[in-house]
Structure 1
């Protein structure tokens, strides 16, 4: 066990534990605070509630640390830095959460330290750094809860979640500005959206076939009909006026029948690599993780290793990013009512065994349990014949053949 993990195991009334908590709060508040408060990592709050430093100290002493955040508390308590330079070089385990102030702080400091670099930031990076500087401005004089940029992002998020129209968003900005003249906000929707776009958190609209056959993208961008089903790309709105002199009705405009919102991945990855600390975390799988043959990280899995073996040139650069596809919602056996649902409960819960799943329903507890795991053992393993320690039966079954990606 590492040395800095020892103190958290001491009794909460011990001097060692008290020193560790004080060191954690001393190091954490300058980084993660919002105003004079920070999310409390105690066992009851689990970083859901915001409190001042004294209250968090009492919680950590009375309730103890949350097991989910114990490692992070220990790491933060051991940060050693005497100034800005030392602060930037430490491994601080940045948390990917809604903490814009911390993100702006990291990015701004890294940008300031690039004065000796030969390569100048590109245009997109300069836009981001400009907004980082603006992010330090308070929403209004004396405001400690929001910066100009953090409020704008939260406001734009509400627009997307609740379907607020662009015109309504602009009018709300004007209303806030009229009610609070000192508010440091843009005056129109377009001005606000330009800020969001420069931060690389905007999305693109791509027209799609109404039957979801194809996307009007790339070489198909200018087409007007689906190549598969022949359905028109557009919904045409016509005037309702009475037609005179047998003239055809005039068209108002065409609207896409189906639109897909696409969140570009490349600018988001580039934005992460702009920060030195984030870039370290993005390379941790190759340079920082423990490689002892145990399954500790995705890089230890067979899929990751198979990809490295298949694309050695790609694997040679540890800054390259691998993307995984989640299988949630798949229904390869069509055993659920929905065509894209994957059963995770019931008698056919195992996606590998499925119809060969060994399940037993317990009437008293009304739960389904899964037995016969010994069929995955070697046919000569001694546990296959052990009745006493298992379900009272010998296991003579064979493990199912794993499905290939094509079969799934």
Structure 2
């Protein structure tokens, strides 16, 4: 990408822009972006270092009515680019294409190992990358900031339980769940905790579970807390240690 003069210039667009309304209009305004800059300033001080997102999901390439074949693309998106470019097809990198008669499921980490190795190398730095815009060579680094996926794929990638009585990654062991008597399915009835404290839905009874909601939402777990739970054998809310924990950051 840096061998194109226009693309190389666009890859530093995020550093030149200014947020004038205080709203998040680009991932550069997000807490995750700022956390990476604060924790690793040598990485954040180089605007050409790439901030990546990983997206993956499965689909049936032959027919929507049969599930005899599964295909899982794994795509990397570069968020250094401005919003009108970063989601263009030519800037999306197809890193893996996992195909077969079955979905990879929790074993997706096996297929992700080569990609994780490349991400480790990119975090250390690739020397001798030519920047066509500035006309110089530099050391390119990259970091994976987050993943983009639906809830089942989130469970495969993160190792979090996404079904059953403890399927909320935020509430964890305190997930308010209930098994329907007639439908025999599990429903999650604690979602009103995330509403403002004076929201009228909190006081409604008949349309929900017959009770008002006065609780407050729990604090999301940090990465260190999740790693501690997984390494100490918590298999109620976590079914495996994700391969993304192999990344230094």
Q: TM-score category by the smaller chain?
A: 0.3 to 0.5
Q: Which has the higher strand share?
A: 2
> Relative contact order, CA 8 A, sep 6+: which one is greater?
2
Higher alpha-carbon Rg: 1
TM-score scaled by length of structure 1: 0.26
Q: Which has the higher helix share?
A: 1
TM-score scaled by length of structure 2: 0.39
